[in-house]
Structure 1
Amino acid sequence: MKILIVSDSHGLTEELREIKAQYADEVQMMIHCGDSELQADEKVLENFIVVQGNCDFSGQFPEALVEEIGGLRIFVTHGHLYSVKSTLLNLSLRAQEAAANIVCFGHSHFLGAEMIDGILYINPGSIRLPRGRTEKTFVILEVNENEMKLHVHDLNHGKLDDLTQVFSLPKRD
């Protein structure tokens, strides 16, 4: 199973359309972690699970969602309500409450992934305004029986093989 994760596109439509066209047939879920700055009825967001970011002023998206796929619980939020720029503690407490196996968030525009107490936290970075690097990143998470592979993609240059990370699959209840 594959999940496409993007965040902080800040008004981009053509770039989202290209990502969607390239990967929609190979992924089972598409997530946008907020700050799309688009309306909920924007065609390019069709089939994306989308949450509200601090720059999404229309209020048309939920602040957080829990989605289930392949026996995994995925908690999706933008991150601004959990102070993710300074700590993951607040987000981790909420993820534990939600019994999440995976957390997808954005807000900081910093690409990152780490396993904390059996929960995988993923920030796909930004395809518009990346911080800490020049690549405009998004992620495809590939989940199989034993492991999860996080494949980082650059909007302009495709898959960045040197940034692929492998994590043990969290225990399922």
Structure 2
Amino acid sequence: MRVLIISDTHGEAKLLKEVCHRVGADHVIHCGDFTTDVAELPTVPLTIVQGNCDWEDVPKDVLWDAGRIRFYVTHGHKYQVNSSLLPIQYRAEEVGAQVACFGHSHFPVCEQVGNLLLLNPGSITSPRGYRTPTYAVLEILGDHSVEVHFYDPKDQRVPDRGGKYYLTSDDSML
């Protein structure tokens, strides 16, 4: 399964739709701050959460199961992701997630801590502290692993982010 993870598009619905179309993912996760009407979002299998700049009434966090991999999706501002990843790590572990997707900082992160992958796709419109706008594509592989690649909005691979990560699931959580 191929999952597009994107965040902080800040009103750029056209660019978001273009990226979704080009990537052709099985599922799209938007980690908030889409700052547009929900009706303007792409009509694809989509999990979205409310960011600190969003006005639409969508969930603030979501658990989404993709086979044996459980995703915890939130924007991140309520977990102070600009200063530490520990609060979001603890919350993701508490809900039994193997992947925590978040945004808010506009800075791409892909870091494994134990059996948890912390993933911030960055921002395709306004990166902060990183040289280029980014989004992430996560492939769920058959050997309890995932592979993550980061790209810029023109689909050029960002080589210094991502990798292959082994995750196990606790079947009692699913």
SS of the equivalent of 2:39 reads coil
Contact 2:136 2:151 in 1 (8 A): yes
Structure 1 runs of 4+ aligned residues shifted over 3 Å read: 161-164
Distance 1:125 1:117, change over 3 A: same
Is the counterpart of residue 83 in structure 1 residue 80 in structure 2?
Answer: yes
Structure 2 length normalisation: TM-score?
0.91
- Using the alignment, how far apart are the partners of 1:139 and 1:169 within structure 2? 18
Aligned length: 170
Correspondence list, 1:1-173, <5 A: 1-24=1-24, 27-44=25-42, 46-56=44-54, 58-146=55-143, 147-173=145-171
Which runs of 5 or more residues in structure 2 are unaligned?
A: none
Cα distance in structure 2, aligned partners of 1:28 and 1:43: 16
Identity, % of aligned positions: 37
Letter in 2 for 1:135: T
| Per-residue deviation, 1:13 | 1.4
Q: Distance in 1 between the 2:162 and 2:57 partners?
A: 34
Structure-2 change in CA distance of 1:144 and 1:172 (3 Å): farther
Which amino acid letter does the alignment assign opposite residue 13 of structure 1?
Answer: A
The residue identity in structure 1 corresponding to 2:52 is N
What is the rounded CA distance, in whole Å, between the counterparts of 1:80 and 1:65 in structure 2? Answer: 15
Aligned mates of 2:52, 2:43 — CA distance in 1: 18
The Cα shift of 1:172 comes to: 4.0
* TM-score, normalised with respect to structure 1: 0.91
Q: What SS is found at the alignment partner of 2:47?
A: strand
Q: Structure 1 residue 156: deviation in Å?
A: 2.5
Amino acid across the alignment from 1:36: F
Deviations along 1:112-134, one digit per CA (max 9) or x if unpaired, are 11111210110000011101222
Distance 1:54 1:162 in 2: 28
Name the CA shift for 1:15/1:171 in 2 (closer, same or farther; >3 Å).
same
What is the alpha-carbon root mean square deviation over aligned residues?
Answer: 1.6
**Cα offset for 1:46?**
4.8
Separation in 2 of the partners of 1:123 and 1:14? Answer: 21
